[in-house]
Amino acid sequence: MTRPTISDVARAAGVTKATVSHAYSGNRPISAATRTRVFAAAKELHWVPSSSARALAIRRANAIGIVLRRDPAILASDTFFPAFIAGVEQTLAEREVALVLQVVGSRAAEERAYRAMVAGRADGVIVLDLHREDWRVPFLSQLRLPAVLLGAYDGPSTLSCVRTDDAEPVRDLVEYLRGRGHRRIAHIAGPLDYVHSYARARAYVQAVGSRELLREGDFTAGSGRAVTAELLSLPEPPTAILYANDTMAIAGSSYAQSRGVRIPGELAVAGFDDDHLSAHLSPPLTTVSTDPARRGRVATSRLLADIAGEPPTSVTVDCTVLRLRGSTDAPASDHPRSELEEEFR
The tens digit of pLDDT for each residue in 214-225 reads 999 999 999 999
**pTM summary value:** 0.77
Which range (38-42, 70-74, 131-135, 250-254) has the least confidence?
70-74
User: Mean pLDDT score of the chain, rounded to an integer?
Assistant: 88
Whether residue 80 contacts residue 290, with contact meaning beta carbons closer than 8 Å, is answered with: yes
pLDDT of residue 335: 44
Closest CA to 163 of 123, 199, 206, 190: 199
Q: Is the pLDDT of residue 326 over 80?
A: yes
pLDDT of residue 36: 86
| Strands of the chain, DSSP E | 63-69, 98-104, 125-127, 147-150, 160-163, 185-189, 214-216, 240-243, 268-270, 287-289, 314-316, 321-323
Which of the two residues, 22 and 11, has the higher pLDDT score?
Answer: 11
Helix axes of 17-25 and 6-13: crossing angle, nearest 10 degrees: 100
pLDDT of residue 336: 35
Give dist(CA 161, CA 39) in Å, integer. 39
Considering the chain, what percentage of its residues have pLDDT values greater than 90? 65
Indicate the SS3 state at residue 345: coil
Give dist(CA 136, CA 248) in Å, integer. 28
Q: How confident is the model at residue 243 (pLDDT cuts 50, 70, 90)?
A: very high
Q: Is the pLDDT of residue 76 over 80?
A: no
Q: Is residue 131 classed exposed, middle or buried when 0-12, 13-18 and 19+ CB atoms within 10 A define those classes?
A: middle
pLDDT of residue 245: 94
The tens digit of pLDDT for each residue in 93-135 reads 988 899 999 999 899 999 999 999 988 889 999 999 999 999 9
Which domains, ranges and CATH numbers included, belong to the chain?
Answer: 6-57 (1.10.260.40), 63-163+292-319 (3.40.50.2300), 167-286+324-343 (3.40.50.2300)
pLDDT of residue 25: 62
- How far CA 90 is from CA of 66, 77, 98, 200, in Å, comes to 15, 23, 11, 29
Give dist(CA 269, CA 326) in Å, integer. 9
pLDDT of residue 342: 47
